[in-house]
């Protein structure tokens, strides 16, 4: 449970408005909000923040994806929210429905959040939703319920990491095992203090998210606000396999480099001895080959120093996600 005073709501709306403005949302935009409103802070945060910028917010929530795509077209929506996985799925469906996103849709900005993604996923979302063609892009937002909700950090138009709003939040990076503070650019667990909250002023809250802080100035000029490159993994997601600590996000990043790969699933099975690491990738039948398999395994090996089992599966056979994706399956 999360509590807010009236002042908390006001401050959160302001920081959300600043975050959305940073991504490129402007007065007059039409924002399709596809975060849930049901017992979830995300939907409300985007709604109030978008309205404060001066956008018209459509409270869609989650689901009915084909109808959503028709609504995007009919309402000429220019901004879309959602998790990267859902934006990705919407992009796939737009293609399947035979809609030309550059001509028939008006989307300029997507603000994915709540989940890790890769640069390759960004590129595909930007292309499949027609964002670049309309002069915008996909710009990541970060936040967590314990810190008001979304809006704690956002990317600007340069798309090179999320500016942390230092007047609201104080970020630290620590060693996840010892809790010792780490230096600039060092990768570790993000620890956050909300500097303004009244109802629930959490101090040095351990997020379990792995990232780092970048202090080089960004071209946009927001010098007071260092950036974090996104969540590089969850402390809890990591597992040990053949003596190596593996972050599934590192595997995901390599998989998405292959245009042939549509979706994937990483299965870590501890019910058998020795433990089994299986990666399932959706690849169209005509594109499958031993060479592709070998190339994918080599990429994974470079990232995490192990070679899992790799299985090609049919396109559309793995789950799709409207909220946070669960692409890692642990059997224990």
By the rule CB under 5 A, 140 interacts with Zn ion? no
In the region spanning residues 12 to 41, those forming contacts with Zn ion, defined by CB under 5 A, are none
By the rule CB under 5 A, 218 interacts with Zn ion? yes
Three-class DSSP category at 248: helix
By the rule CB under 5 A, 229 interacts with Zn ion? no
Task: Kindly indicate which of the ranges 44-52, 53-61, 113-121, 220-228 contains the residues binding Zn ion, using the contact rule CB under 5 A.
Answer: 220-228
**Closest distance between Zn ion and the C-beta of residue 111, in Å?**
15
Beta-carbon-side half-sphere exposure of residue 193 (alpha carbons within 13 Å): 8
By the rule CB under 5 A, 159 interacts with Zn ion? no
By the rule CB under 5 A, 220 interacts with Zn ion? yes
Task: Kindly indicate which of the ranges 69-77, 164-172, 214-222, 230-238 contains the residues binding Zn ion, using the contact rule CB under 5 A.
Answer: 214-222
Which residue number, 12 or 225, has a Cβ lying nearer to Zn ion? 225
Which residue number, 122 or 327, has a Cβ lying nearer to Zn ion? 122
d(CA 253, CA 272): 27
Which residue number, 179 or 184, has a Cβ lying nearer to Zn ion? 184
By the rule CB under 5 A, 162 interacts with Zn ion? no
Write the DSSP assignment of 204-234 as a string of letters. SEEEEEEE--B-SPPTT--TTS-EE----EE
**Closest distance between Zn ion and the C-beta of residue 220, in Å?**
3
In the region spanning residues 49 to 88, those forming contacts with Zn ion, defined by CB under 5 A, are none
d(CA 158, CA 25): 14
**Closest distance between Zn ion and the C-beta of residue 110, in Å?**
17
Question: Is it true that the peptide bond before 274 is cis, omega within 30 degrees of 0?
Answer: yes
By the rule CB under 5 A, 156 interacts with Zn ion? yes
By the rule CB under 5 A, 296 interacts with Zn ion? no
Long-range Cβ contacts of 307-312 (<8 Å, 24+ apart): 308/251, 308/266, 308/277, 308/278, 308/279, 309/276, 309/277, 309/278, 309/279, 310/278, 310/279, 310/281, 311/278, 311/279, 311/280, 311/281, 312/281, 312/282, 312/283, 312/288
Question: Which residues contact Zn ion by CB under 5 A?
Answer: 156, 158, 218, 220, 222
């Amino acid at each position: 449970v999360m509590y807010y005073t009236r002042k908390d709501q006001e401050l959160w709306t302001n920081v959300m408005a600043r975050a959305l403005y940073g991504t490129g949302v402007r007065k007059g935009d039409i924002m399709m909000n596809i975060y849930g409103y049901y017992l979830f802070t995300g939907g409300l945060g985007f709604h109030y923040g978008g309205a404060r910028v001066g956008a018209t917010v459509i409270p869609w929530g989650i689901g009915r994806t084909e109808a959503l795509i028709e609504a995007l077209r009919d309402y000429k929506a220019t901004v879309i929210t959602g998790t990267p996985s859902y934006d990705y799925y919407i992009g796939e469906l737009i293609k399947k429905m035979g809609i030309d996103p550059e001509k028939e849709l008006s989307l300029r900005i997507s603000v994915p959040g709540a989940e890790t993604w890769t640069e390759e996923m960004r590129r595909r979302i930007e292309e499949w939703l027609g964002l670049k063609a309309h002069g915008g892009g996909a710009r990541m937002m970060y936040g967590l319920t314990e810190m008001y909700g979304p809006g704690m950090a956002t990317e600007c138009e340069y798309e090179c990491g999320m500016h942390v709003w230092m007047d609201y939040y104080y970020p630290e990076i620590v060693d996840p095992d010892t809790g010792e503070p780490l230096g600039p650019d060092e990768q570790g667990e993000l620890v956050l203090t909300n500097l303004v909250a009244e109802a629930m002023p959490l101090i040095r809250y351990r997020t379990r998210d792995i990232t780092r802080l970048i202090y080089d100035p960004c071209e946009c000029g927001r010098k007071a606000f260092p950036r974090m490159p996104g969540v590089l993994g969850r402390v809890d997601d990591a597992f040990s396999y053949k003596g190596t600590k593996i972050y599934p996000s590192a595997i995901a990043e390599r998989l998405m480099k292959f245009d042939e790969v549509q979706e994937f699933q990483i299965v870590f099975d501890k019910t058998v001895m020795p433990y089994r690491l299986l990666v399932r990738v959706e690849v169209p039948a005509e594109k499958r080959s031993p060479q592709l398999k070998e190339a994918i395994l080599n990429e994974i090996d470079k990232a995490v120093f192990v070679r899992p089992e790799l299985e090609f599966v049919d396109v559309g056979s793995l789950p799709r996600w409207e909220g946070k994706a669960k692409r890692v399956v642990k059997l224990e």
